[in-house]
Amino acid sequence: MHLILTGATGLIGSSALDAMLRMNSVTKISILSRRPVQMVEDRPDPRVNVIIRKEFETYDEEVLAQLKGAAGCVWALGVAQSQVSRKSAGSPTTPPLPPHLILVPYAAGSLPLAWQEKHEEPKTDWPKFRDYVQITKTFAEAAAKAFSKLPGTEPSAAAASGKVPPASPPFRFVYVAGGDTTTKPGLLTAFQARIKGETELSLGAICRPSHLKGYSVRVFYPDMAGHDAIKPYIAPRPLVHSVAEAVLGAPIRHFAKNLWAPTDKLGEFLNELAMGHHDDINAEDVQGSVDGLTIISNADIRRVMGY
C-alpha cells in the first residue's frame, strides 16, 4: 500500500516514518519534505521516494503523478508557535506583536482596539503569526484539495475484512493536531488551539463533498522516551519544553495515561488510519466529528492501540 508522509523530520513524522519502514504491508512511501530526510539516508529502502518541495501550497501534475495510487496521507507537518520564523518581523506595514501581548490568548477582543485600528490588518497577518497559520492551516488545506484529485486504488483493510460494506475506496487524510485543539474557542483559548480548530473545520468542509476520508488526531503528549529508533533524528527541544517534560513526563506516563502517546504506538496508529485499518471507527466511538472529519482524542489512541 502506498502512503504519503509530511513532517518526516519532526517528532511525530519521524515516528510515522519509522513505523512505515517496519511495515511490510506498506509498499511505497512518498515523503514531501523541504530537505533530505536523514532517517531515509541512514536506512536506505527502495520503497521510499523523497520529493523535495520548496513550498506546499501548489501541486502540479508532475508531483501528483508521483503520488498517484496512494491510499492515504499522514499530515504531520507542523511547527511550534514559539519556533515560527520572525524574519519578517519589524515590517513597517505589519509590526510584530508587542512583547507584553504575546501571552494574551488569541481571541476576539483580546487585543487593544487602538492597536488593531492603527494597523488595520487581520490578526493572522501579523508577521509573528502569519508563518504559523500558513504552515498549520494553509498548507494542510492546499494538500487536502490537491489529494482529493488522486483516485483511490486500493480497498480498505476494514472493507476487505467485511467490517464495512465494500465501496469506492476513499483517500484517507490524517491530520495531526494538538490535544488542546478546539473548534469552539472561548476568550481564554490559546492561539495555536484556535488555529488548529479552524483547520479541522476547513478540512471537514473539504472532505465532505469529496472522496477524502478525513481524520484529525489530537495528540496531547507524544513521548519518545522508549523509542530509540527516532532519537538520533529529533532536534534538541527548547529549554522550556525540556524542563516541562522532565517535570511532567513521568507523572503523565503513570497517572494520566489518557494524555500519553508513546511515539512507537502513535506512529503505528497514524499509519493504520491512513491505510484504512480503522475505517470502521465511527464518530460516536471517538471524540466526535466536524463535517467530514472524524476527531480522535489521545484517549481514543490509547484505547485502540491498547497501551
Ordered per-residue pLDDT tens for the chain, 307 residues: 999 999 999 999 999 999 999 999 999 999 999 999 999 999 999 999 999 999 999 999 999 999 999 999 999 998 876 666 544 333 333 334 444 334 443 343 344 334 344 444 444 445 567 889 999 999 999 999 999 988 654 445 554 555 555 456 799 999 999 999 999 999 889 999 999 999 999 999 999 888 899 999 999 999 999 999 999 999 988 888 888 889 999 999 999 999 999 999 999 999 999 999 999 988 788 998 988 899 999 999 999 999 9
**Helix H or strand E segment including 212:** strand 212-219
Number of domains in the chain: 1
Q: How far apart are CA 168 and CA 153, in angstroms?
A: 9
Q: What is the pLDDT of residue 81?
A: 66
CA triplet 122, 123, 127: central angle to 5 degrees?
A: 105
The pTM (predicted TM-score) of the whole model is 0.83
State the CB neighbour count (10 A cutoff) for residue 144.
25
Cβ atoms of residues 282 and 243 within 8 Å? no
CATH of the domain at 80: 3.40.50.720
Residue 86, C-beta contacts closer than 8 angstroms, at least 6 positions apart = 96, 127, 128
Domain around 61: 2-305
Please report, to the nearest 10 degrees, the dihedral formed by the alpha carbons of residues 73, 214, 302, 81 taken in order: 70
C-alpha cell at 118: 492603527
40: CB partners within 8 A, 6+ apart: 8, 17, 31, 48, 50
b/e per residue, 253-283, with b = 16+ CB within 10 A?
A: beeeeebbbbbbbbbbbbbbbbbbbbbebee
